[in-house]
Structure 1
């Protein structure tokens, strides 16, 4: 009577075991979740990290103080219906001009000139990436690609969008002192190039985490705070009030809507310097 060899039996058992394990692992919900793909460089926009890090806290509270509605846009929106926004009461707008020293908004001309064309007061902003180039270099890139200022009464000073890093470490791998140094370099070069102090757009929680709640810019640079809640909340170090407030990412026509802390003549005053 023939004797079965153990080798083939073990091989069959291994195959059966492997097949069972594979079948189990392939059941829905049992495979580990695939990590979300990192966003492409250049795709960042104002408030990109606000919902993820600060969340949403309700609709803005009614106030008797005069406020002027605005919007901010980037390449994400493409061609913007400026006439529709004007009809809805929007009177000022900021357009993303650049990011780092490697990206310019392909829709910048339509957005920047389009808002101006319907009568809005307009400005440009730069999305900072402090881990890719120095502050002065990025300020030069911004000014050279649409971020300048003109004394025409309808152009706002450029804005520095400094917030969570959408591509990696929240603080771009910098210590608080290194981050404030980077910001100072950007602001100094921007003023040297344009004669204006740039607006700083940020969120209080990011500012506290990544600059140590530094208060040294408040005396010269207007604050544009990001907070999707009933009010602007606690402000970063040094600022007693915010000049602008980004209060939602889900507004009409374009998502990002803002309020200027004052009537239209105050927006004009900032434009005039």
Structure 2
């Protein structure tokens, strides 16, 4: 005669009920998160984790482009803490001759991998510089320029150091334009660039995307005759540049996120990279 294990049956019944309830709850949560304007904490990255092009990739998608134009181009890369310790000799052997390394973000973050990346690229023969990821919603442009300079963003005329670069793009932590009006954003950028120039004697490179620049600065033409442009455009052509710039100095034509695969063309041969380094 079969024995009815009543305790086991009740436990199995309870597990099935619990599983069904959990499934319903997860389905409801998925519907809520799918609603427009709804975001979870997990969707917002931690402060300090942004890299050059992170906002561009999120907005435009991760693509590979970069059909070389008639002018000779010199290959370069950008790196951040996501890349860890970079194998610079391998990149050098592949034809990469210059690099930009993330030094700082806001006034609250310095890259723990900066020294290995900045010095390592230099040691294999590359011309290198550092960049600052701007967060205009946290502190002033002047404060961030000074922080950048104090933590690896300076410049020296040694023939192998590029002027610092200001990475100004979509905000990965919140509102695309960091809560600023177009006039307010232009003022913030001027505060940064003027402070950097006064301290180092060099006009910083501005890294941006045309669509962000149009959205968040009102397509300001205030910087085109002063600051070298590093344009992000993941396509087979550079496309329309922001107002004021007739030509880009650097074109970031591909992004693969947090890997050493964010390649750029410098618009000219190696002598032009050296010319920018020398000022």
User: Common fold, TM-score beyond 0.5?
Assistant: yes
Residue among 23, 27, 33 paired with 1:30: 27
Q: Deviations over 1:210-257 (max 9, x none)?
A: 000000101010000011110111101110110001111139x71211
SS in 1 for 2:28: coil
Give me the whole-angstrom Cα distance separating, in 2, the residues matched to 1:249 and 1:181: 29
Secondary structure in 2 matching 1:95 = strand
Aligned residue for 1:5? none
- Which structure features the higher share of helix residues? 2
The alignment status of 1:111 with 2:97, answered yes or no, reads: no
Which structure: larger Rg? 1
Provide closer, same or farther for how the CA distance between residues 216 and 114 of structure 1 changes in structure 2, counting only shifts above 3 A. Answer: same
Q: Which residue of 2 aligns with 1:10?
A: none
Of 155-164 and 22-31, more deviation after overlay is shown by 22-31
Superposed, 1:1-273 pairs within 5 Å as 23=20, 26-27=23-24, 30-33=27-30, 35=40, 36-56=42-62, 59-250=65-256, 254-273=260-279
Counterpart-to-counterpart distance in 2, 1:109 and 1:51: 26
| Aligned residue in 1 for 2:6 | none
CA contact (8 A) 1:57 1:230 kept: no
Note the residue ranges of structure 2 that are not aligned, 5 or more in a row.
Answer: 1-15, 34-39
Q: How many residues are paired up?
A: 254
Q: Secondary structure at the match of 2:29?
A: coil
* Cα distance in 2 for residues equivalent to 1:59 and 1:28: 43
Q: How much has 1:71 moved relative to structure 2?
A: 0.3
Matches of 2:46 and 2:265, distance apart in 1: 29
Residue 142 of structure 1 aligns to a residue in which SS?
A: helix
Structure 1: tracts of 5 or more residues without a match: 1-18
CA contact (8 A) 2:81 2:111 kept: yes
Residues 64, 253 of structure 2: 8 Å contact kept: no
Three-state SS of the structure 2 residue aligned to 1:126 is strand
Question: How far has the Cα of 1:87 moved from its partner?
Answer: 0.1
RMSD of aligned Cα (Å): 2.0
Q: Is the contact between residue 197 and residue 220 of structure 1 (CA under 8 Å) also seen in structure 2? A: yes
Alpha-carbon contact 2:203-2:227 (below 8 Å) kept = yes
Q: Give the superposition deviation at 1:61.
A: 1.9
Under a length normalisation based on structure 2, what TM-score does the superposition of the two structures give? 0.86
